[in-house]
Amino acid sequence: MNTIQIKNNGGGQTTVAASDLEEFQSGFRGDLFHAGTHGYDTIRKIWNGMFDRKPGLVARCVGTSDVIRAVNFGRENDLEMSVKGGGHNSAGTAVTDGGLMIDLSLMRRVTVNRQAKTARVDGGCLLGDVDYETQLHGLAVSAGIVSHTGVGGLALGGGFGWISRKYGLSVDNMISAEVVTAEGAVVTASATENPDLFWGIRGGGGNFGIVTAFEFRCAEIGTEVYSGLIVKDFSNAREYMRFHRDYVRGLPDEMTVWMVARHAPPLPFLPETVHGKMVVIVPFVWLGDPAEGAKLIKPIQEKTETLGEGLGMHPWVGWQSGFDGLVDHGARNYWKSHHLKDLSDPCIDEIIEFAGRLPSEECEVFIPHMEGAPSRVAEGETAFAHRNLPFVLNIHTRWREVADDEKCLQWARNFHESTQPFAQGVYVNFLSQEGEDRIKEAYTDAVWHRLVDVKNKWDPQNRFHMNQNIKPG
Ligand SMILES: Cc1cc2nc3c(=O)[nH]c(=O)nc-3n(C[C@H](O)[C@H](O)[C@H](O)COP(=O)(O)OP(=O)(O)OC[C@H]3O[C@@H](n4cnc5c(N)ncnc54)[C@H](O)[C@@H]3O)c2cc1C
């Protein structure tokens, strides 16, 4: 191994001697990668193809002791450190350009306690890993909707999906976490041990340490759910959206109905003439008796023209990975998002105006309905904030060619700005790199001040700053 240059926290380069790297590698069970090492170009890749960063060194850990060793190496050499869980964050924070990337992608063990209905989940797990193991027992952890998303980033920021209206967010189901601190210590964060840290990691992201394992409460949902997609013609989108905003807010928590405006994918139940056409897709999941679910969904089927639908009992694992292909790795992505106070008529008008001119085939306007169990947790109970807002507007801009960057970025920014009057706050996991003021908007003032206190205590040197950063203050 030769001497290598690694970016330090001052922005300069630190020369790391071969003997220091050898010392790091000895006893480290995982692998070290740097430019020229076999596998380096694969391991540095993340979901968002906009980021082609080259870490000076990657430490691919296989256990907690490896993570401690990597953090100590980073701190002792004052290296810029980033942490890669599933590598899914659209802001690209998992990968440092030149520094030390601590990669958790081999730490993917899930252990289910059937009696207690809990799961211990390693910090590098993907959502699919968790479903795979919990579903053996008909259990599920409340989390997101794409199986290749990482649990680490998702659960530290909030974590919502098809069952969160009924069972709460991932942060609401977190019982404890094993955390490696900036000082290289391993601590437990729970309601009784280090409760300030436990509060902070339930919404404050990776600012306070590296979570090597989570313990979650599981929900008993069985292995199949009544679920499906109803596809509406976009030409009636205004009328449908006005109906949808009121209808879904009156539904029981067992029913989750969202809305996606996009070009129709070639879904098997859609006539070929509809493929590629602008549509509003209405996906839903019902946690209950299918016949009752079918009744609840009827008004949605009947409101405006339905172009096709695929409904029925679906295996949970299949449903959870059913959308994976639409958001696979490598495309260029730019996300803008905010919570919506409501879906007022003028807000719907703006949505339709921008959705009507998507800058690429793969863009989508995604509007989940959030109310339910998460809104019944008091604001301030966890660092995750804005629990009472009914909808999220997610502008998923996605394209393939560099030449389309400007057009796509501009569309997303204009769309976001035009819906700002109807918005309040943002989900931290949907932020792009938008600056500190915007990060603050993910939290209330009271939560932000408390997050700074937690940061001051657990990471006063801001070693963990490759994230939606809460600076010590
Ligand atoms: C296609 C797609 C679908 C999505 N769907 C949902 C959804 O349904 N619901 C939802 O709530 N969110 C969803 N998200 C957002 C998702 O929550 C974030 O992108 C999240 O950051 C992904 O976590 P990750 O571990 O893959 O991220 P990474 O990119 O690996 O990490 C992001 C940041 O999280 C921190 N981090 C990650 N793991 C750890 C760890 N173990 N310890 C400490 N810090 C860590 C680091 O600071 C890192 O910079 C989706 C994102 C995408 C791209």
Return d(Cα 372, Cα 184) in angstroms, integer. 38
Residue 128 near ligand 1, beta carbon < 6 Å: no
**Could you read off the pLDDT of 34-55 as tens digits, one per residue?**
999 999 999 999 999 999 999 9
Return d(Cα 87, Cα 71) in angstroms, integer. 18
**Residue 144's CATH number:** 3.30.465.10
Q: Does any domain span residue 85?
A: yes
Which pLDDT value is given to residue 104? 98
Q: Is 163 left (phi over 0), alpha (psi -120 to 50) or beta?
A: alpha
Q: What backbone phi and psi angles, to 5 degrees, belong to 338?
A: -160, 165
pLDDT at 166 over 80: yes
Domain final position from 221, 239, 267: 221
Q: Is 273 left (phi over 0), alpha (psi -120 to 50) or beta?
A: alpha
Pairing relationship of beta strands 57-60 and 100-103 according to DSSP bridges: parallel
Beta carbons within 8 Å of 440's beta carbon, 6+ residues apart: 448
**Could you read off the pLDDT of 128-158 as tens digits, one per residue?**
999 999 999 999 999 999 999 999 999 999 9
One domain for residues 265 and 305: yes
Domain final position from 177, 203, 221: 221
One domain for residues 217 and 229: no
pLDDT at 461 over 90: yes
Return d(Cα 285, Cα 294) in angstroms, integer. 11
Q: Quick one: which atom of ligand 1 is closest to the CA of 333?
A: 53
Which pLDDT value is given to residue 419? 98
Residue 203 near ligand 1, beta carbon < 6 Å: no
User: DSSP for 43-93?
Assistant: HT--S-TT-----SEEEE-SSHHHHHHHHHHHHHTTB-EEEESSS--TT-T
Return d(Cα 112, Cα 28) in angstroms, integer. 27
Q: Does any domain span residue 461?
A: no
In what helix (H) or strand (E) does residue 24 lie, and over which residues does it extend?
helix 18-25
Q: What is the CA(54)–ligand 1 centre distance, in A?
A: 20
Q: Does any domain span residue 366?
A: yes
Taking CA atoms, 216 is separated from 35, 121, 202, 396, in Å, by 37, 8, 12, 29
One domain for residues 255 and 303: yes
pLDDT at 465 over 80: yes
Mutate-to-test residue for ligand 1 from 187, 426, 429, 433, highest number of ligand atoms within 8 A of CB: 429
Domain final position from 189, 221, 253: 221
Q: What is the CA(180)–ligand 1 centre distance, in A?
A: 18
Q: Does any domain span residue 457?
A: no
Q: Quick one: which atom of ligand 1 is closest to the CA of 126?
A: 26
Among residues 144, 166, 145, which one has the least CA distance to residue 371?
Answer: 166
Q: What is the CA(2)–ligand 1 centre distance, in A?
A: 34
Q: What is the CA(84)–ligand 1 centre distance, in A?
A: 9
**Could you read off the pLDDT of 96-119 as tens digits, one per residue?**
999 999 999 999 999 999 999 999
Which residue, chain included where needed, has tokens 């240059």?
5
One domain for residues 298 and 397: yes
Among residues 222, 220, 230, which one has the least CA distance to residue 316?
Answer: 222
Number of domains in the chain: 3
Which pLDDT value is given to residue 27? 87
Residue 205 near ligand 1, beta carbon < 6 Å: yes
Residue 144 near ligand 1, beta carbon < 6 Å: yes
Residue 283 near ligand 1, beta carbon < 6 Å: no
Asked if residue 206 lies in contact with residue 153, where contact means CB atoms within 8 angstroms, the answer is: yes
One domain for residues 233 and 217: no
**Could you read off the pLDDT of 416-427 as tens digits, one per residue?**
999 999 999 999
For atom 7 of ligand 1, the residue with the nearest CA is 144
Asked if residue 335 lies in contact with residue 413, where contact means CB atoms within 8 angstroms, the answer is: no
pLDDT at 1 over 80: no
**Could you read off the pLDDT of 253-299 as tens digits, one per residue?**
999 999 999 999 999 999 999 999 999 999 999 999 999 999 999 99
One domain for residues 68 and 177: no
Q: Does any domain span residue 185?
A: yes
Beta carbons within 8 Å of 198's beta carbon, 6+ residues apart: 174, 176, 177, 189, 190, 191
One domain for residues 214 and 235: no
pLDDT at 234 over 90: yes
One domain for residues 198 and 116: yes
One domain for residues 180 and 149: yes
**Could you read off the pLDDT of 318-366 as tens digits, one per residue?**
999 999 999 999 999 999 999 999 999 999 999 999 999 999 999 999 9
In what helix (H) or strand (E) does residue 378 lie, and over which residues does it extend?
none
CA torsion, ordered 163, 164, 167, 171, to nearest 10 deg: 130
Q: Quick one: tokens of 3?
A: 């001497």
**Residue 412's CATH number:** 3.40.462.20
What would the mean pLDDT of 440-453 be, rounded to a whole number?
A: 98
Q: What is the CA(92)–ligand 1 centre distance, in A?
A: 10
Average pLDDT, the chain: 97
Asked if residue 194 lies in contact with residue 273, where contact means CB atoms within 8 angstroms, the answer is: no
Ranges assigned E (strand) in 158-277? 174-180, 186-190, 210-217, 219-220, 224-233, 255-257, 259-263
Q: What is the CA(294)–ligand 1 centre distance, in A?
A: 33
Among residues 304, 325, 307, 430, which one has the least CA distance to residue 370?
Answer: 430
One domain for residues 363 and 253: yes
CA torsion, ordered 101, 104, 105, 108, to nearest 10 deg: 180
pTM across the whole model: 0.98
One domain for residues 203 and 231: no
Residue 150 near ligand 1, beta carbon < 6 Å: yes
One domain for residues 146 and 41: no
pLDDT band at residue 2 using 50, 70 and 90 as cut-offs? confident
Which pLDDT value is given to residue 301? 98
Residue 154 near ligand 1, beta carbon < 6 Å: yes
Q: Does any domain span residue 276?
A: yes
Structural domain span for residue 90 = 4-103
Mutate-to-test residue for ligand 1 from 50, 88, 108, 180, highest number of ligand atoms within 8 A of CB: 88
Pairing relationship of beta strands 139-140 and 110-113 according to DSSP bridges: unpaired
**Residue 14's CATH number:** 3.30.43.10
- CB atoms inside a 10 Å sphere around CB 249: 13
Q: Quick one: which atom of ligand 1 is closest to the CA of 157?
A: 17
